[in-house]
Structure 1
Amino acid sequence: MSPASALAVAGALLALAIIGGVLLRALDGRRRGGGHLRFDAGGAGTALAPRATLVQFSTEMCSRCPQVRRMLGELATGHDGVEHVEVDLTHRPDLSARYRVLQTPTTFVVDRSGAVRARFHGVPHRHAIDEAIAAV
């Protein structure tokens, strides 16, 4: 391979990595629908709140999880009938497969019947969580 073509391949890979990173960053924290997913509170060792439960999936090595824990705790105390629950996937890896959690933090907004009404990958936007709680 000539030096010019090697440089062109390296440049194309760099551009592809930058575009991929920008796309992932843009999608991080955005609200997604819960689909037909149901959260089994008993299986996770917790209980559901009367209005909505903010379920945060985290791991011990997650660097962004403490920030999300504080934010969700503040949001839960600011709304009546809303509670925040943290599920550590380090000790419960079976739940990551069941709920298709591919990254931490992942947050679910669950209604009182256990239906997942919204799902957030990464650090959720505060206003998006407020909107999801209001929709429950």
Structure 2
Amino acid sequence: MNPVAALLVLVALVVVTTVLGLVWRARSGRIRAADGIRVSADELGDDVHFGDDATIVEFSTEFCGPCRIAERVLGGVAEKHDGVAFVDVDLAARPHLASRFGVVQTPTILLLDAAGGIRARISGVPRAADVEEQLATIAEETHVVVS
């Protein structure tokens, strides 16, 4: 391969890698709507209890650095709100849950309503304000009074 062609291939690889990195970074931590399938506390673990209003479920692994950051953020959000529980699920101990819930990266976070329905999904570390806003939406929608 001549030097000019090699240089062009190298530049193309750098550009493609940069674009993919920027796309990944832009999507990381964003809240997306979910399909609403139901989750039971028992399938997540023996001592798992859901919140009365909502539950934050984080799928993590022991050696995931961003998972520790997400755990602090999500645990803090749950502590600030009555009726909201935080559950951390170690995928190394329960690998079958990765395929059940389509987890392809850690951390992956599910926001559940009071009935265990998945209302939102987050891949990566979310902002606390975004999670609180989504929890408020879930609470509003599940506490609608029909007259």
**Does residue 120 in structure 1 map to residue 122 in structure 2?**
yes
Tell me the TM-score normalized by structure 2: 0.89
Name the structure 1 match of 2:39: 39
Query: Secondary structure, in 3 states, of the residue corresponding to 2:42?
Result: coil
In the comparison of the two structures, how many residue pairs are matched? 136
Residue 54 of structure 1 deviates from its aligned partner by 0.5
Q: Which amino acid letter does the alignment assign opposite residue 118 of structure 1?
A: A
Name the structure 1 match of 2:94: 92
Q: Contact 2:49/2:85 (CA < 8 Å) preserved in 1?
A: no
Gapped regions of structure 2 (runs ≥ 5): 139-147
Q: Which amino acid letter does the alignment assign opposite residue 83 of structure 1?
A: A
Residues in 1 aligned to 2:132 and 2:36: alpha-carbon distance in whole angstroms: 21
Residues in 2 aligned to 1:94 and 1:43: alpha-carbon distance in whole angstroms: 10
Question: Runs in 1 of length 4+ with deviation above 3 angstroms?
Answer: none
CA RMSD between the two structures = 0.9
Tell me the TM-score normalized by structure 1: 0.96
Residue identity (%): 41
Superposition map of 1:32-111 within 5 A = 32-45=32-45, 46-111=48-113
Name the structure 1 match of 2:15: 15
Q: 1:35-94, CA deviations, whole angstroms, 9 ceiling, x for partnerless residues?
A: 133222211112211000010110011011111111111111111100101000011000
Residues in 2 aligned to 1:103 and 1:35: alpha-carbon distance in whole angstroms: 18
Query: Secondary structure, in 3 states, of the residue corresponding to 1:60?
Result: coil
